[in-house]
Amino acid sequence: MSSAEELRRRTRELLAALPPASTDRLDFLRARFDAGLAWVHYPEGLGGLGAPRSLQAVVDAELEAAGAPDNDSRRNGIGLGMAAPTILKYGTEEQKRRFLRPLWTGEEVWCQLFSEPGAGSDLAALGTRAVRQDDGDWVVNGQKVWTSGAHNSRWAILIARTDPDVPKHAGITYFVCDMTDPGVEVRPLRQITGEAEFNEVFLTDVRIPDSRRLGEIGDGWRVAQTTLNNERVAIGGMRLPREGGMIGPAARTWRERPELRTHDLHQRLLKLWVESEVARLTAERLRQQLVAGQPGPEGAGMKLAFARLNQEISGLEVELLGEEGLSYDDWTMRRPELVDFTGREAGYRYLRSKGNSIEGGTTEVLLNIVAERVLGLPAEPRTDKDVAWKDLTR
Is residue 191 within 8 Å of 198, Cβ to Cβ? Answer: yes
The CA distances from residue 218 to 166, 171, 213, 386, in Å, are 10, 5, 11, 15
**Model pTM score:** 0.87
Whether residue 7 lies inside any domain: the answer is yes
Domain end among 195, 218, 241: 218
Q: Tell me: do 359 and 339 sit in the same domain.
A: yes
Q: Tell me: do 233 and 370 sit in the same domain.
A: yes
Compute the average pLDDT of residues 74-101. 95
Q: Tell me: do 171 and 259 sit in the same domain.
A: no
DSSP 321-359: HGGGGG--S--S----SS--SSSS-HHHHHHHGGGGGTT
Q: Tell me: do 9 and 119 sit in the same domain.
A: no
Compute the average pLDDT of residues 103-124. 93
Whether residue 299 lies inside any domain: the answer is yes
Is 373 buried (19+), middle (13-18) or exposed (0-12) by CB count in 10 A? middle
Whether residue 158 lies inside any domain: the answer is yes
Domain end among 40, 70, 100: 70
Cα(301)–Cα(117) distance, integer angstroms: 26
Lowest mean pLDDT among 9-13, 153-157, 292-296, 300-304: 292-296
pLDDT higher than threshold 70 for residue 338: no
Q: Tell me: do 1 and 123 sit in the same domain.
A: no
User: What digits encode the pLDDT tens for the residues 312-329?
Assistant: 999 999 999 988 888 877
Whether residue 65 lies inside any domain: the answer is yes
Q: Tell me: do 59 and 150 sit in the same domain.
A: no
Residue 150, domain extent: 110-218
Q: Tell me: do 34 and 154 sit in the same domain.
A: no
Whether residue 94 lies inside any domain: the answer is no
Average pLDDT of the chain? 90
Per-range mean pLDDT, top range of 192-196, 277-281, 286-290, 312-316: 312-316
Is residue 384 within 8 Å of 166, Cβ to Cβ? Answer: no
Q: Which residue has the higher pLDDT, 197 or 26?
A: 26
Count the domains in the chain: 3
In 3D space, the residue among 120, 141, 285 whose CA is nearest the CA of residue 207 turns out to be 141
What one-character DSSP code corresponds to residue 370? I
CATH number at residue 147: 2.40.110.10
Catalytic residues: 231
Q: Tell me: do 282 and 347 sit in the same domain.
A: yes
pLDDT higher than threshold 60 for residue 294: no
β partners of residue 241: none
Q: Tell me: do 319 and 357 sit in the same domain.
A: yes
Lowest mean pLDDT among 26-40, 86-100, 221-235: 221-235
Cα(226)–Cα(246) distance, integer angstroms: 28
Q: Tell me: do 281 and 146 sit in the same domain.
A: no
Domain end among 70, 96, 131: 70
Whether residue 93 lies inside any domain: the answer is no
Whether residue 354 lies inside any domain: the answer is yes
Q: Tell me: do 213 and 231 sit in the same domain.
A: no
Residue count of the chain = 394
Lowest mean pLDDT among 77-86, 134-143, 185-194, 228-237: 228-237
Q: Tell me: do 118 and 188 sit in the same domain.
A: yes
CATH number at residue 274: 1.20.140.10
Cα(283)–Cα(279) distance, integer angstroms: 6
Backbone angles phi, psi at 178, to 5 degrees: -80, 115
Whether residue 261 lies inside any domain: the answer is yes
Q: Are strands 129-132 and 110-113 parallel, antiparallel or unpaired?
A: unpaired
Q: Are strands 110-113 and 155-161 parallel, antiparallel or unpaired?
A: parallel
Residue 160's pLDDT band, with cuts at 50, 70 and 90, is very high
